[in-house]
Structure 1
Amino acid sequence: MEKIIDESKQGDALILEQKKQNSKKLYIESYGCAMNFSDSEIVASVLNDQGYNTTDKLEDADLVLVNTCSIRDKAEQTVRKRLEKYNAVKRTNPKMKVGVLGCMAERLKSKFLEEEKIVDLVVGPDAYKDLPNLLAEVEDGHDAINVILSKDETYGDISPVRLNTNGVSALVSITRGCDNMCTFCVVPFTRGRERSRDPQSIIEEINDLWNKGYKEITLLGQNVDSYLWYGGGLKKDFAKATEMQKATAVDFSKLLQICAEAQPKMRIRFSTSNPQDMSLDVIETMAKYDNICKHIHLPVQSGSNRILKEMNRLHTREEYFTLIDNIKRILPDCSISQDMIAGFPTETEQDHQDTLSLMEYVKYNFGYMYMYSERPGTLAERKLDDDVPEATKKRRLAEIVQLQREHGEIQIKKYLNKEVEVLIERESKKSNAQWSGKTSQNIVAVFPKENYKVGDLVKVKVLDCTTATLIGEAVGYSQNN
């Protein structure tokens, strides 16, 4: 596994249950991270109440929306190509309206609307509730735009429509925005400052999902570990909170506990963590509850202290090692995955070797690895020259990927001849005679179907493996089923 963005999902047209009374058709595509796919579910919910049913036929749509990502240049180029396709269709269906949602909206609003005139509306990540008003503007013949970033919008009062779901796993958003000003990242500029969602609304959503048959949720945020609810407002304003607010505040470890206890048979995952916010409390809470999955995605980005400082990462190599040591001590069966950037500005060969030696220390189960791609509007773009040659970036990335493959193989072979608990999610892609699901450690396992069904928790004896998949046979239902 080498990419955090699931390429198989990129650009999927989202489909949900049709309302008979709805007469308009919505075509919505999502690109980028899990947060974008989660946001599309919120948008679909808002528009479902405005008379729109989803369609997967672009030509039939009254409204076409693309939920965009600015994290990598490739994602932006993909979206631009899709917009060209939409407009080609629009020439044969002039009533069709086209809109851009999400992270590209803020950055390219004037380009899309005024200069290139390729869209009718532009909607930022905090303005989805304003869609009915914006669509009314478009119907009146005006361009419509709302990219205002909110201090308190969390969409906690909207019950997302689950799109393209397997009916087993769901995303539950708990924070929006980010306060970490990593120099390579556009998120603080496109999604705003960090704020957390009311824990009561999170629990209500999880309970509702359990009642609908879901067996696993992923608590989602740009930085889940820094979740902090003290009655609403920005996290950075917590210092101004009253003594009562501070005394009753809910942090991430407390939220994990509340979720685990609210639905003791629901599997709970979370993504994404940041090393400086991952506390001992979180690790200990994970150890305490069986239904909290034993996998931590812990982006490090580089193994060099000098580069970490240039990236404005708020952790050192040594602090990261201490965190890894604590995870392995308290959660010996926990899998750990990484994000890594090769070729950040000013990166030397020694910095690169520091990254490889960090990987040797941790021996990650899997990782998501990229060459540095300069993003407009970031601090790195403004202050640092992208001075590592392309060929050097490619070579360093190849070395990182190769080392990760070696470590991944070492880690996955540890499961041979052991029993693992697998939540069945779907048929195996390679055989309709096998089920595919994931272990608590987020590792894919396949095994013969027998009499089991999607949504079952099954004990599987591991007989073989590839570099990324466990192969085995079921030995019975899990006691947690």
Structure 2
Amino acid sequence: MLDTVPKVHDENRQGEAIAPQAGDTRTYAKKFYIESYGCAMNFNDSEIVASILNKEGFGATRDVEEADLVLLNTCSIREKAEQTVRKRLTEFKSIKKAKPGFLVGVLGCMAERLKSKFLEEEKLVDMVVGPDSYRSLPDLIEEASSGQKAINVLLSREETYADISPVRLNSNGVNAFVSIMRGCNNMCSFCVVPFTRGRERSREPQSIIEEATDLFQRGFREVTLLGQNVDSYYFVDEQRDETVTFALLLEKVAAISPLLRVRFSTSHPKDITDEVILTIARHENICNYIHLPVQSGSNRILQLMNRTYTREWYKKKVDRILELIPDCGLSTDVITGFCTETEEDHQETMDIMNYARFDLAYMYAYSERPGTLAARRYRDDVEPDVKKRRLAEIVALHRTHTLASMQKDVGKTFKVLIEGTSKRSENDLFGRNDQNKVIVFPKGEHKKGEYVMVKVENCTAGTLLGKVVEG
């Protein structure tokens, strides 16, 4: 969600080892190596796990060979992610044979879904830990160290890890994720999340404010509020005699400082309200950017997906957002090749993309997930080559939209939060504007964490190019 070029969704691009926390000078008796896949929630969960492990005397390492404990934080959204994780687990076998006491564990959504398959049938791991069971890691490590297979995949209706301060790993010191809720009550037929992460529950608001405040005081200048469906955030604070909706939570986080940018992800179209949109419009430091997954442009397919809205309703929601926030950036998710999808359905998806002209889209071919409603009810009957062709058409169309969107910004000046040095040149910096577009510009005397005004002089389909000007 933080990229600005057209994306064919691929969890492999998100599989990465987590580095030790910058500035951590403590000496640890043991080392852990953790690799994360999938959504931002998984990466945030890895930071919670790191915090728990630090207290148990484990320090992070990026070298799997020196680790005493290897953990893969997994995703079950696409089949390819599961294949990648299995391949990685097989690669760890040789280290395990050569290093007594070396432990391998699977965390997250795959752990919840596959459970004993990893432990008994494939014998690739020593422990399996579900997304609501990270507090039990110390006991599970002890159990696995004694030669027992350790497992805890119980789902919870209360766990939010509100009292655990995540260890900011792989951090640039500017942007941070803050989880505000866990689980999901939407039963989209293609999605495994309600079965792997459980029912929806919101985190106590004061703990969110305290975490975001602490981040700001430590020099971070942007927080992204995370949830499977942030618009459903709802917490009755009996101590303060206050009911906190997502709109009010946004307001509270924005009030920490005008220098703290606020983003959020993800929204379900049916739940984003005028109250939320108007709150964004009212606060300069809440970014004018909304991720609004459409999934399909066909009413028939939307009904099969159990998305609870129509194409006509979705278009009106886009209109309303742009009416209240005219310069709002919009991104989306698109699934092609869902069960029974016809060419007419595909063309309706192309049509809605032409209507909304998204600034960013995550596009992928349907991948049946065992245990989902779609797997139980429908046959995955669209041929792979048809899925591939339709996906290519969607990606090509979207690229024309992103290029046109970028070209419209040439000549404009934007407030940019500097996030670091450009990957392509040590002489350039990069950051993002309100609409989540990446802007690259000459370094000069500026440094990350600063706000600068940048005038756009040129662009590609995924990046704006400019120079710093006086504000």
Which of the numbers 16, 19, 43 marks the counterpart of 2:21?
A: 16
Report which stretch shifted further, 398-407 or 281-290: 398-407
Alpha-carbon distance between aligned partners in 1 of 2:211 and 2:10, rounded to the nearest angstrom: 25
- State yes or no: 1:383 paired with 2:372: no
- The verdict on how the C-alpha distance between 1:7 and 1:113 changes in structure 2, with shifts beyond 3 A counting, is closer
Corresponding residue for residue 239 of structure 1: none
Note if contact 1:14-1:29 (Cα within 8 Å) is conserved in structure 2: no
Task: Give runs of aligned pairs for residues 136-147 of structure 1, distance below 5 A.
Answer: 136-147=142-153
The structure-2 alpha-carbon separation of the partners of 1:440 and 1:198, relative to structure 1 and needing over 3 Å to count, comes to same
Deviation at 1:6, TM superposition (A): 7.1
| Residues matched between the structures, number | 465
Offset, 1:264? 2.2
* Distance in 2, Cα, partners of 1:332 & 1:5: 31
Is 2:11–2:37's contact at 8 Å kept on the other side of the alignment? no
**Counterpart contact for 1:260–1:266, Cα < 8 Å:** yes
Partner of 1:293, secondary structure, is coil
Identify which of 337, 355, 361 aligns with 2:355. 361
Which residue number corresponds to residue 301 of structure 2?
Answer: 307
Give deviations 1:345-386, integer Å, cap 9, x for gaps: 011111111111111111111101001111111111111001
For residues 81 and 30 of structure 1, do their structure 2 counterparts lie closer, same or farther at Cα, with a shift above 3 Å needed?
Answer: same
Shift in Å, 1:188 = 0.3
Structure 2 counterpart of 1:237: none
Deviation at 1:398, TM superposition (A): 1.1
Partner Cα distance (1:259, 1:181) in 2: 29
In the other structure, the counterpart of 1:285 is: 279
Q: Per-residue deviation at 1:13?
A: 3.2
2:74 maps to what in 1? 68
Aligned to 1:472, which of 444, 466, 469?
A: 466
Question: In structure 2, what is the Cα distance between the partners aligned to 1:320 and 1:248?
Answer: 32
Measure how far apart 1:341 and its partner are. Answer: 0.5
- Is 1:454 aligned with 2:459? no
The aligned residue for residue 402 of structure 1 is: 396
Q: Given that residues 32 and 60 in structure 2 are in contact (C-alpha distance below 8 angstroms), is that contact kept between their aligned partners in structure 1?
A: yes
Matched, 1:428 2:431: no
CA RMSD of superposed structures (Å): 1.5
Offset of 1:246 from its aligned partner? 12
How high is the sequence identity, in percent, across the aligned residues?
57
Cα separation, 2, equivalents of 1:38 and 1:330: 31
- Segments of 5+ residues of structure 2 without an aligned counterpart are none
Please give the alpha-carbon distance, in whole angstroms, between the structure 2 residues aligned to 1:440 and 1:258: 19
Q: Measure, in 2, the Cα distance between the counterparts of 1:265 and 1:192.
A: 35
Where does 1:331-370 land on structure 2 (aligned, <5 Å)? 331-370=325-364
Deviation at residue 3 of structure 1 after TM alignment: 4.2
| Structure 1 position 5, deviation (Å) | 5.8
TM-score when normalising by structure 1 = 0.94
Q: C-alpha offsets along residues 379-416 of structure 1, whole Å, 9 cap, x if unaligned?
A: 11111001111121111111111111111111111111
Residue aligned with 1:405, SS: helix
SS at match of 2:98: coil
Letter in 2 for 1:370: Y
The answer on whether the counterparts of 1:4 and 1:33 sit within 8 Å (CA) in structure 2 is no
Q: Do structure 1's residue 175 and structure 2's residue 169 form an aligned pair?
A: no
For 1:268, give the aligned amino acid: V
Q: How does 1:311-322 map to 2 (within 5 A)?
A: 311-322=305-316
**Structure 1 residue identity aligned to 2:15:** Q
Task: State the AA in 1 paired with 2:16.
Answer: G
Q: Equivalents in 2 of 1:407, 1:9: separation in Å?
A: 25
| 1:258 corresponding residue in structure 2 | 252
| DSSP 3-state at the match of 1:277 | coil
- Quickly say closer, same or farther: Cα 1:21–1:392, change in 2 above 3 A: closer
In the other structure, the counterpart of 1:31 is 37
| Other structure's SS at 1:37 match | helix
8 A Cα contact 2:11 2:81, kept in partner: no
Distance 1:336 1:230 in 2: 30
Greater than 6 Å deviation, 4+ residue runs: 244-247
Q: Residue type of the partner of 1:48?
A: N
Q: 1:245 to 1:349 in 2, by over 3 A?
A: farther
Structure 1 residue 295 corresponds to structure 2 residue 289: yes
**In 2, Cα distance between equivalents of 1:457 and 1:9:** 28
Of residues 213, 218, 226, the one that matches 2:219 is 213
Answer yes or no: is the 8 Å Cα contact 1:436–1:447 preserved in 2.
yes
Q: Is contact 1:253–1:281 with CA below 8 Å preserved after alignment?
A: yes
**More deviation in 385-394 or 207-216?**
385-394
**Structure 1 pair 254–20 and aligned structure 2 pair: CA distance change class (3 A):** closer
Gaps in structure 1 of 5+ consecutive residues: 232-243
Cα gap change, 1:7 to 1:422, in 2 (>3 Å): farther
Higher relative contact order (CA 8 A, sep 6+): 2
**Does the 8 Å contact 2:174/2:222 carry over to 1?**
yes
What displacement does 1:8 show?
4.5
